[in-house]
Amino acid sequence: MTHPISFAVIGCGRIGLRHIEMIKNLPGATLAAVCDVLPVGELGISVEVPYYTSAEAMLAAHPQLDVVAIATPNGFHAQHALQVIAAGAHPIIEKPMALTRRDAEKVLHAALQKGKYVFGVMQNRYSPPSEWLKEVVDRGLLGEIYQVHVDCFWNRDDRYYHPGGWHGTKDLDGGTLFTQFSHFIDILYWLFGDITPTAVKLNNFNHAHSIQFEDSGMVQFDLVQGGVGSLNYSTSVWDANLESSMTIIGEKGSVKVAGQYMNEVAHCHIEGYAMPALAPSNPPNNYGPYKGSAANHIFVYENVMNVLRGEGPITTNALEGLKVVDIIERIYAKA
């Protein structure tokens, strides 16, 4: 594909606006249309391209679209992905790919039948500490893996869960693991493969008035490839996010990546290994005022461009997106 790649966006909320900004500033990309269920006047945004209030109308009016980014509430991701694929475009799906494995499989099967890519937005993979962790694990520098512990402690209070919004609802949000912490389950799967949950404890400590599921959980699991681990998470931290971290204990060393988004190497002690200098987590860019995890969205878009031009492999595919949904579904089932 050598011509400019044509994009559209479904969903013009906070994340959708981030996608729009990325596309507008991406060399070789054109933003053809955007869509949201609300009239544009209610969104309070400036739109320079055709605007639609239904995905069906937008896809029908723009049959030559190459890629459509889906930034709608979680419960609509699979439905909109299927519409995009049926219209002949490649979907970029914000996490999670779907709220059930069954719906994720429908998207995967439709993409295979139509010969379309499904790009997952798992931008945390592109942070320098995550790329470094991947290299350490893939090279076997830690030897046999004994334990992996993921801890995610954030704040989500009434500033986030407000009346009339979709956050906190079972059908559109899906649960804390889907909306807040699926990125870190993706990193876990990316590094170590599948897991088997062995014990799960869920609680709703201080969100009974605002959400229909847990705000905190403790999960124990076995790594299918060997070793054990835990996932401890909460959105009950007072006032501000605390951290997201991964600690790995292996035969030949131990490492810990921490920070708010697992964006800092907090510990590295590996036999015969010197910790290299990593690239900064917030490099200068021309893609909007984004930092940390948000800034990494541009790497998702650069991968889309490379794949469609035949210049590289897809970095987060439909099967990987499905596996994250599958793991979360099995954790909730175990509870």
Query: What CATH number is attached to the domain comprising 86?
Result: 3.40.50.720
| Structural domain contains residue 68 | yes
Residue ending a domain, among 275, 292, 312, is 275
Number of structural domains, the chain?
2
For residues 121 and 242, what is the distance between their CA atoms, to the nearest angstrom?
A: 23
Vertex 319 angle, CA 29 and 217, to 5° = 105
Residue 291 lies in a domain: no
pLDDT for res 45: 78
In a domain, 244, yes or no: yes
Distance (Å, rounded) from C-alpha 254 to C-alpha 237?
27
Distance, C-alpha 70 to centroid of its chain: 12
Same domain, 181 and 237: yes
CA distance 34 to 153: 34
Q: 58 and 189 in one domain?
A: no
Query: Residue 147 falls within a domain, yes or no?
Result: yes
Q: Is 239 exposed, middle or buried (0-12, 13-18, 19+ CB in 10 A)?
A: exposed
Shared-domain flag, residues 130 and 261? yes
Residue 55: the pLDDT is: 97
- Are the C-beta atoms of 133 and 257 separated by less than 8 Å? yes
Residue by residue, DSSP assigns 27-64 as TTEEEEEEE-SS-HHHHT----S-EES-HHHHHHH-TT
Q: Kindly state whether residues 50 and 73 are assigned to the same domain.
A: yes
| Residues 130 and 115 reside in one and the same domain | no
**Pair (161, 251) in one structural domain:** yes
pLDDT at 21: 92
Q: What is the distance between the terminal CA atoms of the chain, rounded to a whole angstrom?
A: 47
Q: Nearest-CA neighbor of 318 among 55, 114, 169?
A: 114
Do residues 89 and 128 share a domain?
Answer: no
Whichever domain contains 208, its CATH number is: 3.30.360.10
Domain boundary among 70, 103, 121: 121
Sequence-ordered alpha helix ranges (H) in 144-267: 176-179, 182-192
Question: What 3-state class would DSSP assign to 162?
Answer: coil
Query: Are 258 and 264 spatial neighbours (Cβ–Cβ below 8 Å)?
Result: yes
Burial label for 158, CB within 10 Å (0-12, 13-18, 19+), is exposed
Domain coverage including residue 208 = 124-275
CA distance 259 to 152: 10
165-219 pLDDT, tens digit each? 999 999 999 999 999 999 999 999 999 999 999 999 999 999 999 999 999 999 9
Domain boundary among 259, 275, 291: 275
Residues 83 and 138 in one domain: no
Q: What dihedral do alpha carbons 312, 316, 319, 320 form, nearest 10°?
A: 140
What is the predicted pLDDT for the residue at 177? Answer: 98
Residues 109 and 27 in one domain: yes
Question: How far out from the chain centre does Cα 291 lie?
Answer: 16
* DSSP of 252-313: TEEEEEETTTT-EEEEEEETT--PPPPPPSS---SS-S--GGGGGHHHHHHHHHHHHTTSS-
286 inside domain: no
Contact status, residue 145 vs residue 225, Cβ threshold 8 Å? yes
Residues 159, 70 share a domain = no
Please report the pLDDT score of residue 193 as a whole number.
Answer: 97
Answer whether 176's CB lies under 8 Å from 213's CB. Answer: yes
The string of pLDDT tens digits covering residues 225-255 is: 999 999 999 999 999 999 999 999 999 999 9
Q: Is 330 domain-assigned? A: no
Same-domain check for residues 114 and 150? no
35 and 167 together in one domain: no
**Residue 151 domain flag:** yes
- At residue 147, the pLDDT reads 98
Element (H, E) at 153: strand 145-153
Q: Is residue 107 part of a domain?
A: yes
What pTM was estimated for this model as a whole? 0.94
Average pLDDT of each block of 10 consecutive residues along the chain (335 residues)? 88 94 94 94 85 97 98 98 98 98 98 97 94 98 98 96 92 98 97 98 97 98 98 98 98 97 96 94 55 74 96 94 98 97
